[in-house]
Amino acid sequence: MKGSLQSALLATTLVLVTGVACKKAVSQPTKAVPAGTVEFHFTRKAQGPLELTLDGVRVPVEPTKKNKKAKALLITGLAPGKHRFFIYSPRDAFGPDQGEFELVAGKGTYLVTFAQAFNAVLYGKPDAITPAEGIPGVRAYLVP
């Protein structure tokens, strides 16, 4: 009897500690996401630069001012419907880094994205990347 009570207390304590530790992760936006906008909220700040491919077209991503780390990637000017994305960075790893989201007419979309520091270039400088083509009316930028 005493052993089962201690086990129950230990399990309850672990659940509470885990809940408090996980509370820092944001699963809901702090303010409403505007219509035609997608917000990728990072679990850790990302340094960038970021490469974004949206529906098979590379979209230029504007860096943060003064090269600060970013807590989110905002994409504005999207039409309602399903969109495929791929996010890449030589300094950060994302999860999911590719997938699909659906934009409903009159609403925005909020996606929590795992981010982790990851330097893919061990020696020297990374290769120069050709400029992205972009999609008319679509703007992607990092938010500090």
Given this model, what pLDDT does residue 107 score? 94
DSSP, residue by residue, 93-142: EEESSEEEEEEPTT--EEEEEEEEE-----SS-PPP-PPP---TT-EEEE
Cα–Cα dist 81/25, whole Å: 28
Specify the pTM: 0.78
CATH architecture for residues 26-143: Sandwich (2.60)
Query: Which pLDDT score is estimated for 144?
Result: 92
Where in the chain are the domains?
26-143
**Main-chain dihedrals φ then ψ at residue 73, nearest 5 degrees:** -115, 120
Residues 6+ apart with CB under 8 A from 100: 82, 83, 84, 85
What is the C-alpha separation between 73 and 110, in angstroms, rounded? 10
Average pLDDT score over residue span 130-135: 90
pLDDT digit string (tens) for 68-117? Answer: 999 999 999 999 999 999 999 888 999 999 999 999 999 999 999 999 99
Place of tokens 């982790």: 116
Q: What are 14-52's pLDDT values in tens digits?
A: 544 444 445 455 678 888 999 999 999 999 999 888 999
pLDDT in the model for residue 23: 47
Query: Strand 38-46 to strand 109-117: parallel, antiparallel, or no bridges (unpaired)?
Result: parallel
Of 62 and 13, which is predicted with more confidence? Answer: 62
- The whole-number average pLDDT for the span 52-66 is 94
Q: Which of 137, 109, 128 is nearest to 51 (CA)?
A: 128
Higher pLDDT, 7 or 128: 128
For residue 91, the 8-state DSSP code is S
117, 91 Cβ separation under 8 angstroms = yes
